[in-house]
Structure 1
Amino acid sequence: MMKYSLLFISLLSQISNIALAVSPDSIVERCNALTEMKFDNAKVIKSELIEERFTPLTKLADTLRGAENNVITGLPQFCRVELAIQPEINIEIWLPTQWNHRLQAIGGGGYAGFIPFDELAVAVKDGYATVATDTGHQGNLLEGNFVFKNNQLQADAIADFAYRSVHEMTIKAKQVIENYYGQMPSFSYWNGCSTGGRQGLMEAQKFPADYNGLYITAPAIQWDKFLPSELWPQIVMQEELGQPIDLAKLDKVRQAIINLADEQDGIKDGIIDDPASLEITDEFLKQQGLNNNEIVALRKIWQGPTTQTGQFLWYGIEPTAQMDALAGSTPFPIPVDYLKYWINQNPTVDWKQLGYKGFENYFNDSVHLYRPIIGTDNADLSQFKHLGGKMIIWHGWDDKLIPPKGTIHYYNRVLKIMGGQNDTDEFLKLYMAPGVDHCKGGEGADKINGFQSLVNWVENKQPPTTLTAQKIEKGQITLQRPLCPYPQKTVYKGKGDTNNPTNFECQ
């Protein structure tokens, strides 16, 4: 009888300890205690328990991303941690009380300078411990002057932006997670688009042990080439016409091209599956109201940058992409600041004075100076593969900022170095999304289940075949398509509901 009484008391004690471990007071104490953590080059600035809603500091950069972050609601209970890494790297770590034992790191965009609170919220709602960084500076994601202070280029700021901030963030976040939960994450994932995509690929190339899975969208890789190329449309229009082409004309041309080629895939849906294969005649362009000089300029924009003698430098955006960002009435700010502060180190430089010769020099200087630092184009991913890492990349064919052919170019180099299609398929798959703009938007299906597919691949050893892409408007699925792994294409079988993925096949 005494034996069973002692066992009962022991069980009660264990139950009490478990209850204490998850009691509100205990959670608050554990969260607050994170401020006492010691790091060699970092410090926890603040830790607090958040429930239901959070109001981040509103920053212009977040507004530009389209994030509505005056207040974020519907949040689960989580411990919010502000961490500062020397010299000026700010980190945000969110630790949900109901944790799924995984880490999901969120990438930035443009020149960064902000915390993507809206995307942290999505991850924490799904049970992930999640983390993001401003990459070492605070500011507008379109402004690149953070690397230029006191009339000098700041090498540390460039290194932090290029790779150091993300790696340091990853190491510190895992230490905080272990301290808070008593264990490291079972799996660590990266999720990023544009600059965030580049950050993830840099991790695979430079720090392949940091993440088990990388979800990469429209990556800003080959930074040294594509970034100066974003100024090419303005250079062309300045040299050929003396002024930009009227955007209404460009929109008319784009829509006419889409209408002309729309039904070539057997479906009239306003989406071109492979815009790179289109053949567009001068006569067709004249019918849309372009004169001869405008046709010359537009073809040069589509073709992408060349040397003065016509030799290929880099890719252009596709004819089905919107032209308002790179060929609008004013140039896109990111390459202008890159020219001023990163290349010339002179805020007074006027891009209009470049001409074709000056642009070629600008391009070559960029490759020479920054390919080793931030090119992020190392196609040897053997160490990442050896460690069991998996990666899914997708890019929208109608991306108006980063040429999708650049991502295909990188992927083909990976194929060559990593032993061909079969060997590469073991750890990396690329998908092209018809009609999708930069990261999201466009006429195509831009809600893609790739992240969930990546998790399944990493944890259950089930490589994805197709991904499912949806267009959601006003809460309703208006379009649904499968995406096939490149170089395969998604082909309609010719009958059945075009919103049913089973009515398509990969060829």
Structure 2
Amino acid sequence: MKPTRSRSASVGSAVVTASIISLSACGGSNDNDAVRASSTAQQACATLSGKTIGGAALTAAVVPASGPAPTYCKVNGTLAPKLNFEIRLPDSWNGKLHYAGGGGYNGAIPDVALSASALKQGYATASSDSGHQGSLLDASFALTDPTAAQLFGSLSVPTVMATAIEAVTAAYGQLPSKSYYEGCSNGGREGLMNVQRYPKLFDGVIARAPAYNWVGFMGAFNRTAKALAAPGGAFTSAKTSLLAKSVRDACDGLDGVVDGVVSNQSACTSAAFNPASLRCAGGTDTGDTCLSDAQLAVVSSWTTDAVFAGSPTFRNAGWSLTGNEDSPTAMGLWVTGNGNVTTALQYLFQDTTVKNYLARDPSANSLAYSPWDQNQSALSAMAALNDATNSNIQPFVDRGAKLILWHGGNDAALSKNNTAEYYNNVVSKVGGQSAADAFMRFYIAPGVDHCAGGPGADTADLLTALDNWVTNKAAPGTLTAQKLDPANGAVQFERPLCQYPKYPRYTGPANDANAAKLASNYACS
């Protein structure tokens, strides 16, 4: 799976260039946040249009303000062989650069909506398609194109950063004073990959719901898909609703308020709710008021750890039962397919992974691929490309960079317990909590689905918190998360965003719906 020497040479050169440039961009003589370049988006476009920078011929055009995005200069280019990128330059630059990561198997440049908040704050932003074009559910590039596989795995971000820094410097006449990375899901993995392999590239990284243990979570996807496909294992939306309501009935009030979200998940133990209590008489499916033995086996597969041979990192921590499994973007979408497992996103991801990384056969049946760890060389090769499990991030720490981890408490795509494992592994590696607190924070947002959505408060400005930490040495503590009305952006309610392992406990007046909407009536417990 290695690229040819000629094709990999340009990629490797770009990575070296990125590292050199980033040293100048981070902590150099231009590290003065009071300095602001005066170029407008129009002027930046005029400067860059038609130029070749970092080996890429650039096109540039001003994009008027629309929806959440302000006016900006959109700069596009391609780095050989086919790494497409986009740089967005705001009207009023704050002197800093923000890189927004992708999702799934990438294949397209992320929508500007993912960068809109950063653009509004004055950041220049950059993103890419990671070096191949296609559906985010399609890993066929890994079967046919070793260079694309390496770019997706770890090289696309540092490669694009080299060109982005040059382009931003050309547009505004000065190097970025700080460079930050932010991404969710695979984007979170990309963030941790750069923390681990390119520690000098960013001054700070925000890794949301990071898909960092590719071998482990894909194996867990495969295991649960098989349980769902087994006779009687199909899980309808009614079954999911039964499970979710049962968890809420048992555990919702354990955080001090009955609000439809189980914030105190650590107290929602098997003593509070045991899925076996939903067992159908005799273990055979008798309708929507119970779970058969085959369906309880699905719940067990989903909520227990999956461990595979070959490496201590070939594992996946099980999902917690949250009480919000019935959210439209939770268990039905990701796990069960609402009765048809082959439509579930977890099934589709593991299926394309088996076909293109492990069996290396587009006709392979992923449900018949057993055991998951049968081909150790294939697992190790995939891990070398895609796993970001190394908890020894001392080089990143030593240069003063900061890391913020975040995970939705109702994430049915990737287990928040995996992110907790990585966080705890880093804490152990650096010598304890006090040392870790100097450079790392971890937040869990109760009731929030994968990256966003769900009944919980899913909006929080982690970028401002990170920037204050890096530039002003103001370490973030409890933050505020909001739930916004999708129609008009109005705040529906707020919650404290607590540092792990704390959760927001309601301390306000009883039976007061308006008081329960205010973050000030909660304490991190």
The normalised TM-score by structure 1 is 0.84
Which portions of structure 1, spanning 4 or more consecutive aligned residues, are displaced by more than 6 angstroms?
none
Unaligned runs of 5+ in 2: 1-37, 281-288
Would you say the 8 A contact 1:234–1:244 is kept in 2?
A: no
For residue 479 of structure 1, the aligned residue among 493, 518, 524 is 493
Would you say the 8 A contact 2:217–2:315 is kept in 1?
A: no
For residue 447 of structure 2, the aligned residue among 411, 426, 435 is 435
In structure 2, do the counterparts of structure 1 residues 307 and 85 end up closer, same or farther at CA, with 3 Å as the change threshold? closer
Q: 2:398 matched to 1:397?
A: no
Q: 2:358 matched to 1:343?
A: yes
- In 1, Cα distance between the equivalents of 2:258 and 2:212? 33
Superposition pairs for residues 285-296 of structure 1, below 5 Å?
285-286=278-279, 288-296=289-297
Determine which structure has more spread, i.e. the larger CA radius of gyration: 1
* Partner secondary structure for residue 64 of structure 2: strand
The residue aligned with 1:223 is 214
Amino acid aligned to 1:133: S
For residue 335 of structure 2, the aligned residue among 326, 330, 350 is 326
- In 1, Cα distance between the equivalents of 2:335 and 2:57? 41
The residue aligned with 1:37 is 52
In structure 2, do the counterparts of structure 1 residues 292 and 78 end up closer, same or farther at CA, with 3 Å as the change threshold? closer
Superposition pairs for residues 7-156 of structure 1, below 5 Å?
29-32=46-49, 35-39=50-54, 42-48=55-61, 50-52=62-64, 72=66, 76-116=70-110, 117-149=112-144, 154-156=145-147
The residue aligned with 1:259 is 249
Shift of residue 74 of structure 1? 7.1
The residue aligned with 2:226 is 235
| More displaced stretch, 79-88 vs 243-252 | 243-252
The residue aligned with 1:468 is 480
Amino acid aligned to 1:113: G
- The count of residues paired between Structure 1 and Structure 2 equals 454
* Partner secondary structure for residue 143 of structure 1: coil
Would you say the 8 A contact 2:213–2:315 is kept in 1?
A: no
Shift of residue 51 of structure 1? 4.3
Would you say the 8 A contact 1:258–1:270 is kept in 2?
A: yes
In structure 2, do the counterparts of structure 1 residues 99 and 298 end up closer, same or farther at CA, with 3 Å as the change threshold? same
Shift of residue 175 of structure 1? 0.8
Amino acid aligned to 1:262: D
For residue 415 of structure 1, the aligned residue among 421, 427, 437 is 427
The residue aligned with 1:317 is 319
The residue aligned with 1:359 is 372
* Partner secondary structure for residue 448 of structure 1: coil
Would you say the 8 A contact 2:209–2:406 is kept in 1?
A: yes
Shift of residue 381 of structure 1? 1.4
For residue 382 of structure 1, the aligned residue among 378, 390, 394 is 394
Task: Give the root-mean-square deviation of aligned CA atoms.
Answer: 2.5
Would you say the 8 A contact 1:266–1:494 is kept in 2?
A: no
The residue aligned with 2:465 is 453
The residue aligned with 2:153 is 162
Per-residue CA deviation, residues 342-377 of structure 1 (Å, 9 max, x unaligned), is 1111011112323xx433436x56642222222101
Shift of residue 503 of structure 1? 2.7
For residue 371 of structure 1, the aligned residue among 370, 373, 383 is 383
Per-residue CA deviation, residues 58-101 of structure 1 (Å, 9 max, x unaligned), is xxxxxxxxxxxxxx457544332212112210110112231111
In structure 2, do the counterparts of structure 1 residues 164 and 412 end up closer, same or farther at CA, with 3 Å as the change threshold? same
- In 1, Cα distance between the equivalents of 2:69 and 2:103? 24
* Partner secondary structure for residue 208 of structure 1: coil
* Partner secondary structure for residue 316 of structure 1: coil
The residue aligned with 2:301 is 300
* Partner secondary structure for residue 462 of structure 1: coil
- In 2, Cα distance between the equivalents of 1:432 and 1:462? 20
Q: 2:282 matched to 1:270?
A: no
Would you say the 8 A contact 1:317–1:398 is kept in 2?
A: no
Per-residue CA deviation, residues 314-333 of structure 1 (Å, 9 max, x unaligned), is 22322224321122212331
Percent identity between the aligned chains?
30
| More displaced stretch, 74-83 vs 221-230 | 74-83
Unaligned runs of 5+ in 1: 1-20, 54-71
The residue aligned with 2:519 is 501
The normalised TM-score by structure 2 is 0.81
- In 2, Cα distance between the equivalents of 1:431 and 1:43? 38
Shift of residue 36 of structure 1? 2.9
- In 1, Cα distance between the equivalents of 2:70 and 2:452? 26
Would you say the 8 A contact 1:95–1:129 is kept in 2?
A: yes
The residue aligned with 2:29 is none
- In 2, Cα distance between the equivalents of 1:274 and 1:238? 32
In structure 2, do the counterparts of structure 1 residues 29 and 471 end up closer, same or farther at CA, with 3 Å as the change threshold? closer
Would you say the 8 A contact 1:31–1:79 is kept in 2?
A: no
* Partner secondary structure for residue 319 of structure 1: coil
Amino acid aligned to 1:46: T
- In 2, Cα distance between the equivalents of 1:274 and 1:326? 23
Would you say the 8 A contact 2:88–2:126 is kept in 1?
A: yes
* Partner secondary structure for residue 447 of structure 1: coil
Would you say the 8 A contact 1:51–1:75 is kept in 2?
A: no
Would you say the 8 A contact 1:481–1:500 is kept in 2?
A: yes
- In 1, Cα distance between the equivalents of 2:41 and 2:198? 38
